[in-house]
């Protein structure tokens, strides 16, 4: 994995979020890098980055963490300058690539849609 292919974020000091920078990076992130239990996000109905929230063995993210990851997905999309945006969320195990599809194209199952405003997490305060 080339670390430069992804934007990296930390939520609440402990949750890792990765966002693809190109269609090829999106494929790699969604289909190779993501673990089955990671959460996967993508803005609904328009181009944007695939975003992964890493699963942690010590607990599940609360709604505010899931919404923050969805906001990152909205930020890294054509919806960045819009208002409230629909973002699809599912577990990475439910993301697959249709045969012969171009880079960055996936199919998802068992989605939940979150309505969020595009945004990035605040940098940590020293």
Look at residue 84 and tell me if it is in a domain: yes
Separation CA 46–CA 16 (nearest Å): 24
Report if residue 35 sits inside a domain: yes
Higher pLDDT pick, 10 / 59: 10
The per-residue pLDDT for 90 is: 97
In the chain, % of residues over pLDDT 70 = 94
Instruction: Characterize 45-75 residue by residue with b for buried, 16 or more Cβ atoms within 10 angstroms of its Cβ, and e for exposed.
Output: eeebbbbbbbbeeeeebeeebbbbbbbbbbb
pLDDT at site 64: 95
Q: Note whether residue 43 is domain-resident.
A: yes
Q: Tell whether 53 is covered by a domain.
A: yes
Summarised one tens digit per residue, pLDDT across range 21-58 is 999 999 999 999 999 999 999 999 999 999 999 998 88
Asked if residue 123 is part of any domain, the answer here is: no
Q: How many domains does the chain have?
A: 1
**Rounded average pLDDT over 70-81:** 94
Q: Is residue 65 part of a domain?
A: yes
Q: Residues 16, 22: contact at Cβ < 8 Å?
A: no
């Amino acid at each position: 994995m080339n670390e430069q292919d992804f934007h990296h974020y930390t939520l609440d000091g402990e949750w890792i979020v990765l966002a693809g920078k190109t269609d090829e990076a999106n494929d790699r992130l969604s289909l190779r890098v993501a673990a089955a239990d990671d959460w996967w996000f993508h803005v609904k109905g328009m181009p944007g980055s695939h975003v992964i929230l890493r699963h942690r063995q010590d607990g599940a993210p609360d709604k505010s963490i899931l919404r923050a990851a969805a906001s990152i997905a909205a930020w890294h999309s054509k919806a960045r300058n819009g208002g409230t945006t629909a973002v699809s969320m599912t577990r990475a195990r439910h993301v697959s690539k249709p045969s012969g599809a171009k880079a960055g194209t996936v199919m998802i199952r068992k989605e939940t849609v979150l309505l969020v405003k595009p945004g990035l997490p605040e940098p940590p305060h020293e």
